[in-house]
């Protein structure tokens, strides 16, 4: 993904690059953003075989399936009693991979894919099924040679699980309640106005494939927050409603904006530390393509609301047929 506008970077770089920590990234070809929902409507990737080393399994009890589901909902309801970028009791820069496994392995009975090894990264996919609706939680993390976790990636959403297809769900009120700490009102009310908000959408209607995305950046907290919702067309505008969104978090140790910038420069979010802006039709600052300023965005969405955001479709990227 690539992001660049002069106004966005001039403000963002004051926060991230005051010490000149990030290296220039000079890509001139800008690929489309990677959405949580693919054009086929399938959100779940092909699952990898379970691989758990024998040394990890010593004396860590697993929960029965019903217990695991109940405890998962409890963890999500209050983020395991800790504050982001700590996630479910796992804190980047402090928690080790073995300590994280003690938290996650009891949920093995509701995991459809678990990959734990002596080499970074670890990952686990947890699910909560109700009829043909599946809530999924993907959590993966990188750790250094000393075992301390340096980066957590978290992804949560819902799909309709049918024999012949998987379709993403964007309008589930239950999902929003269960993931309350990570949804937009929870993030804004807890952490205040972000350093920046950028959006992406398309220059044409896409059915059932997301198509409207928001990214919030909190450099001091080591947080990048990414929401995906269904794009709707209203006249010549594209509309996205944050109340109906799936969520993805990229979490790093807090309190070090230089390290945060450097870490982002090594991921698909590298464009957030570009030092030379280049023209782009994929990601744009919210105040440049909507009627909202950053302050208005914060004031509008820090409390639960059904309000949506509209942007003219003209000028946005048009996906290939």
pLDDT single digits (tens) 266-291: 888 877 665 444 346 688 899 999 99
What does the pLDDT read at residue 172? Answer: 86
pLDDT at 12 > cutoff 60: no
Question: What is the structure's pLDDT at 96?
Answer: 96
Task: Say if residue 56's pLDDT is above 80.
Answer: no
Helix (H, G, I), strand (E, B) or coil at 199: strand
- In this prediction, residues 105-114 reach a mean pLDDT of 91
Q: For 37-63, what is the mean pLDDT?
A: 51
Q: Could you tell me the two tokens for 90?
A: 């796992």
CA 111 to CA 125: how far, in whole Å? 5
Residues 127-151 have a mean pLDDT of: 93
Counted residue by residue, the chain has a size of: 321
Q: Span 30-44, mean pLDDT?
A: 37
Domain ranges across the chain: 6-312
The model's confidence at residue 48, banded by pLDDT at 50, 70 and 90, is very low
User: Residue 302 pLDDT more than 60?
Assistant: yes
End-to-end Cα spacing for the chain: 20
Residue 315 pLDDT = 84
pLDDT score at 54? 42
Give me the torsion for CA of 283, 285, 288, 294, rounded to 10°. 150
Residue 20 in tokens: 């000149």
Residue 18 has pLDDT above 60, yes or no: no
Q: What is the reported pTM?
A: 0.82
Q: How many helices (H) does the chain have, and how many strands (E)?
A: 8, 13
Does 52 score more than 70 pLDDT?
Answer: no
Span 201-218, average pLDDT: 88
**pLDDT of the residue at 17:** 34
Which residue reads 């959405």 in tokens? 35
> For residue 29, what pLDDT is reported?
33
Q: What does the angle CA 313 – CA 314 – CA 320 come to, to the nearest 5 degrees?
A: 80
Q: Could you give the 3-state DSSP secondary structure of residue 157? A: strand
pLDDT of residue 257: 92
- pLDDT greater than 90 at residue 27: no
Q: For all residues of the chain together, what is the average pLDDT?
A: 81
């Amino acid at each position: 993904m690539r992001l660049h506008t002069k106004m966005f970077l001039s403000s963002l770089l004051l926060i991230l690059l005051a010490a000149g920590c990030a290296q220039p990234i000079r890509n001139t070809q800008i690929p489309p953003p990677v959405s949580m929902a693919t054009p086929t409507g399938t959100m779940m990737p092909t699952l990898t075989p379970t691989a758990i080393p024998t040394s990890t399994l010593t004396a860590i009890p697993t929960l029965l399936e019903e217990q695991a589901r109940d405890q998962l909902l409890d963890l999500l309801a209050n983020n395991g009693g800790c504050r982001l970028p700590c996630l479910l009791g796992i804190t980047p820069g402090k928690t080790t991979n073995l300590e994280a496994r003690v938290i996650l392995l009891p949920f093995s009975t509701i995991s459809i894919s678990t990959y734990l090894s002596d080499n970074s990264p670890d990952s686990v996919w947890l699910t909560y099924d109700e009829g043909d609706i599946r809530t999924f939680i993907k959590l993966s993390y990188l750790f250094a040679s000393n075992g301390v976790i340096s980066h957590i990636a978290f992804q949560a959403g819902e799909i309709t699980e049918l024999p012949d297809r998987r379709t993403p769900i964007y309008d589930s009120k239950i999902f929003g309640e269960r993931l309350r700490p990570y949804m937009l009102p929870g993030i804004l009310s807890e952490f205040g106005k972000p350093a920046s908000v950028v959006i992406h959408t398309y220059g044409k209607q896409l059915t059932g494939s997301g198509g409207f995305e928001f990214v919030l950046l909190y450099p001091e907290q080591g947080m990048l927050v990414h929401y995906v919702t269904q794009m709707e067309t209203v006249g010549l505008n594209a509309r996205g409603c944050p109340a109906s969104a799936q969520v993805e978090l990229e979490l790093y140790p807090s309190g070090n904006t230089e390290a945060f910038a450097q870490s982002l420069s090594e991921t698909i979010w590298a464009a957030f530390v570009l030092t030379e802006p280049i023209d782009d039709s994929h990601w744009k600052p919210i105040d440049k393509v909507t009627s909202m300023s950053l302050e208005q965005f914060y004031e509008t969405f820090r409390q639960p609301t059904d309000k949506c955001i509209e942007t003219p479709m003209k000028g946005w990227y048009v996906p290939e047929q």
